[in-house]
Structure 1
Amino acid sequence: MIWKFFQEYKIWYSMYALMSALYFLSFYLYHLPLGYFVVSLLFNLTLLLIVTIWLFIQFRKKLLLIQNFFFVQDLDDLSLPSELAYQQLIEQLLAAESEKGLVEKSRMESLQTMVKMWSHQMKVPLSALSLMAQTDQLDRQEVRQQLLRLENYLDTLLTYLKFSGNKDDFRFEVCSVRELVVDLVKKYRVSCLAKELSVEVSGDWQLKSDKKWLSFAISQILDNAIKYSKRGGHIQVQLDEDGIQIADTGMGILPEDLPRLFEEGFTGYNGHEHKKATGLGLYMTKQVLDKLDLAIRVHSQVEEGTQVFIYKEKS
């Protein structure tokens, strides 16, 4: 601590030594009696020692206070302008840290809620598979459908975790959106066959984007179209240079639910009524499309169907 003290006040002691040397030089050049200089130096050194002791006590008290304080109020004894500025800086840092902690706590609580919700959703297909296994009534098509639901739930949850952790791995390249859609239709063919749905894909859209993330966004729209379509319905995917339109002849969306479709955790009437929604699919779709510089628009009428448009906004 003594070394720290002299480090803080070294400029003053250096100035005192320099002034003493200048006084000695003056006495020497003018041939003045050096005895007077020695007496004066001893007197000044005595005064300097007293001041040093007082300054060291104050320095030690301040240093211990700064090192061991728990609350900002403990620093109220600091009174120098520089010390007050330091105290104000600590208050700002603590406030920022507290706000950051609240945001992180809120994020963790939201994440825990979503994981619990997801766990509940995943129990449905798991229970169906378990029941089929216990009764030895394993229908191949039904098993594939339940496994596809599990895969979709898991993919969406992993995507949510990646976005909530601010991690992304976008790689932009020119791709055929038609090829992505065709691959997704093949992926969902079991679900389409189970509900006797017909799917029509027309046109193409050459777009510079990330294949993986764009495929994820489209898969969420297509999954919803299949999920909420009536048996024997029809899904049409139309692509052109302006974008992609996915239209179904399902149950539609209530007008009051449309403005909130992309809110985190919002399921709407259909989700509550049919217990098929987690409220993350469309939310994540919007987040991904925003990262890809794409826009999404939804038109829907109850009992007539829904049209979802994904397009690149013109600058």
Structure 2
Amino acid sequence: MSLIRLILELLHVKKGMILLYALNTVILILASYIFYGVNDILYPLGVSAFLLLVYLGISAVRLNTFTGRLAAARTSPHLDVDDTDVADRLIFGTMNEIHDGYNSRIYQLGSSVKERNSLFSQWIHNMKVSVSIIDLAAESGSAEALRDIREENGKLTQSLEECLNMLRLEDFSRDYRPEKVNLHRLVTKAVNARKRDFIYMGVYPKIAVDEQVEVYTDGKWCGSMLEQVLSNAIKYSHKGGTVTVVSQMNEAGVLLTVGDEGIGIDPEDVPRVFEPFFTGKNGRDYRSATGIGLYMVKYTADKLGHSVRLDSQRGAGTQVTFTFSAK
């Protein structure tokens, strides 16, 4: 801060104190003249002016130090705080907390944007592969080519739906309505939504959910999670197998388990199933796997405040368990 600006700022800040000091000096001089007959006013004026200049000088130094620290606070991620100075601790301590909060938020946003860009890049790559296969199959025109076209068209549809869901998840708070939901009706609706998949794959659903149980969730988003888990259970089940949906209560809340009797997952792949685009060994054996479904299930469950756990054994099937709050 320049000297002239510092002086002007100081006079502006201390104008009330200066006026009060000047008034006090005048009263003292008048009192000395009236009660003691003192006619010499130069001495008390000189002493008063000297004390005022000393006070203003000390205030100017403090103001200059304070404005310098404020200027540093604009760019510094963290400021040293004098704990012995109450004003310093309150002002700059609060500014440090604000800095830390904004830095944390910026880091989270940066990570979110980076992750989203990675997801969309992979989606675009997957869709380009499908488009290329469709082009090649269309040139052939055989019955096998038509099957390939239908399969790749299904992948494109699935990828587009996942993209739209991800975009909606970015603005989750505006599209979220927590309410008390009947769990049996929620499960039945999700199973009916996958009825065609059950029929096509020759897999049978079995629902063992208490019809009286209610949980707090968002019906639409929770239904989307259940449909995704059911889709996976159907996809990796053997023909004639059963997909079971069971509920139970414990001290943690309401547990809902979707289990199948399918091929299961290798032990080394289980810890990574909720990572984006991770497909593991099953993904190499089943080309339709995208590795995004369970990632979105975990993401949605976290947003809804539910927990989700996956247990699996190769050749014995997979169980996905959600924990809901009943209060």
Q: Please give the TM-score of this superposition, normalised by the length of structure 1.
A: 0.71
Alignment partner of 1:184 is 2:169: no
Alignment partner of 1:47 is 2:50: yes
- Give the aligned partner of residue 304 of structure 1: 316
Q: Give RMSD over aligned pairs.
A: 4.3
Shift of 1:285: 1.6
Provide the C-alpha distance between the structure 2 equivalents of 1:99 and 1:295, rounded to a whole number of angstroms: 24
- Give the aligned partner of residue 156 of structure 1: 162
Tell me if structure 1 keeps the 8 A contact 2:203–2:234.
Answer: no
Tell me if structure 1 keeps the 8 A contact 2:119–2:276.
Answer: no
Shift of 1:245: 4.5
Q: Secondary structure at the match of 2:29?
A: helix
Provide the C-alpha distance between the structure 2 equivalents of 1:53 and 1:240, rounded to a whole number of angstroms: 76
Provide the C-alpha distance between the structure 1 equivalents of 2:146 and 2:219, rounded to a whole number of angstroms: 30
Shift of 1:92: 5.6
Cα distance 1:163–1:40, how it changes in 2: closer, same or farther (>3 A)?
farther
Alignment partner of 1:198 is 2:203: yes
Shift of 1:255: 2.2
Shift of 1:240: 5.7
Alignment partner of 1:267 is 2:279: yes
Cα distance 1:30–1:15, how it changes in 2: closer, same or farther (>3 A)?
same
Shift of 1:9: 2.1
Structure 2: tracts of 5 or more residues without a match: 250-254
Provide the C-alpha distance between the structure 1 equivalents of 2:186 and 2:263, rounded to a whole number of angstroms: 27
Tell me if structure 2 keeps the 8 A contact 1:72–1:87.
Answer: no
Provide the C-alpha distance between the structure 1 equivalents of 2:287 and 2:272, rounded to a whole number of angstroms: 18
Provide the C-alpha distance between the structure 2 equivalents of 1:271 and 1:112, rounded to a whole number of angstroms: 22
Q: What letter matches 1:21 in structure 2?
A: V
Tell me if structure 1 keeps the 8 A contact 2:137–2:146.
Answer: no
- Give the aligned partner of residue 30 of structure 1: 35
Shift of 1:98: 3.9
Alignment partner of 1:104 is 2:113: no
Provide the C-alpha distance between the structure 1 equivalents of 2:293 and 2:102, rounded to a whole number of angstroms: 32
Tell me if structure 2 keeps the 8 A contact 1:233–1:249.
Answer: no
Q: Please give the TM-score of this superposition, normalised by the length of structure 2.
A: 0.69
Provide the C-alpha distance between the structure 2 equivalents of 1:202 and 1:98, rounded to a whole number of angstroms: 48
Cα distance 1:23–1:314, how it changes in 2: closer, same or farther (>3 A)?
closer
Provide the C-alpha distance between the structure 2 equivalents of 1:304 and 1:235, rounded to a whole number of angstroms: 12
Tell me if structure 1 keeps the 8 A contact 2:138–2:146.
Answer: no
1:162-201 alpha-carbon deviations (Å, 9 max, x no partner): 4456635134243413431333223646xx63xx433334
Q: Secondary structure at the match of 2:319?
A: strand
